[in-house]
A and B are shown apart, each in its own frame.
Chain A
Amino acid sequence: MLRRLTQRISDMRTIKVLCTDAEKHANAAGQTEPGLEHFVLAALALPDGSARRAFERIGADPAQFTAAIARQYADALNSIGIAASPLDTQGDTAAIAPGKGPYQAKPAVQSLMQQLASRPGSHAAEPLLGAHVIAVAAAARFGVAPRALKAMGIDLQALINATQDELRTATAR
């Protein structure tokens, strides 16, 4: 009982870090509300390292994800005949100040939080890890996050399998 309570408190800290970092990534890209892709970036920076290792298990470089977000925007604009992407997704001109008032995120983030709360193992005092976030992002059918993963040449099912392997390894420790 105490272990579960301690784990819940630890998970709440992890969620807070994820939300704060995701908002920073969104603001740096000129967006007021973070989306799933910004939570992937936040998960890759978590100290547990499981998100990064899941990428590395399938030979993907997690450091390329930011560039992949920009590339999928460029690809989307190319599809309607805008040849070069004029979008600045990380430059100084794109960045905006953090929003004031209550925390706001894109609708996909609400689904992310629900899936993290109901994840297998959440009742068995298993910690919330970055790999859990990657698993949700890789399972999304549409949106910037899965498009960016595909732009990196990632097989989404292979990434989901890698997150499961990573979570099994973490649980066994």
Chain B
Amino acid sequence: MIIPHPLPAADNPAEALAAVVALRLLADQLERNAVAHAIAQGWSWTQVAEALGVSKQAAHKRLAGTLPPIDLPDQER
């Protein structure tokens, strides 16, 4: 991901806010995929929560039911 120029000017808040919505969706997807891989590799929810900077309860409540299935190659297990 390359962000080569400054963030949108304040004179176009509609476009800037649309970018915020897209970034949130992107961050959610990145988070779910990363956590799914971590859990598949044997991470505990405590470790995941520590890496995300949130409590274990918060991480589990928000993410546990939303993780995509991960099919790891044998060497990653």
A residues bordering B, Cβ < 8 Å? 30-32, 72-77, 79-83, 85-89, 92-97, 99-100, 142, 144, 147
As a 0/1 sequence over residues 1 to 20 of chain B, the CB contacts with chain A under 8 angstroms (1 = contact) are: 11111011000001111110
Assess the B28–A76 pair: CB atoms within 8 A. Answer: no
Inter-chain contacts of A32 with B (CB < 8 A): 66
Q: Which residues of B contact A87 (CB under 8 A)?
A: 22, 25-26, 29
For the complex, would chain B's binding face be called helix, strand, loop or mixed by DSSP majority?
helix
Number of contacting residues on B, CB 8 A?
26
The docked-state distance in angstroms from the alpha carbon of A83 to that of B29 is 18
**B24 closest partner in A (C-beta):** A31
Task: Tell me whether B32 is interfacial, beta carbon within 8 Å.
Answer: yes
- Cβ-defined contact, B65 with A82, below 8 A: no
B21–A144 CB distance below 8 A = yes
* B residues adjacent to A (C-beta < 8 A): 1-5, 7-8, 14-19, 21-23, 25-26, 28-29, 32-33, 65-68
Shortest beta-carbon distance from A52 to chain B in Å: 26
Q: Known: A92-B68, A99-B65. Is A77-B29 also a contact (CB below 8 A)?
A: no
Q: Specify which chain A residues have a CB less than 8 angstroms from the CB of B14 in the assembled complex.
A: 142
Quick check: B19 and A79 within 8 Å, CB to CB? yes
Q: Is the Cβ of A73 less than 8 Å from the Cβ of B68?
A: no
B69 to chain A, nearest CB (A): 9
Cα(A77)–Cα(B15), bound, Å: 9
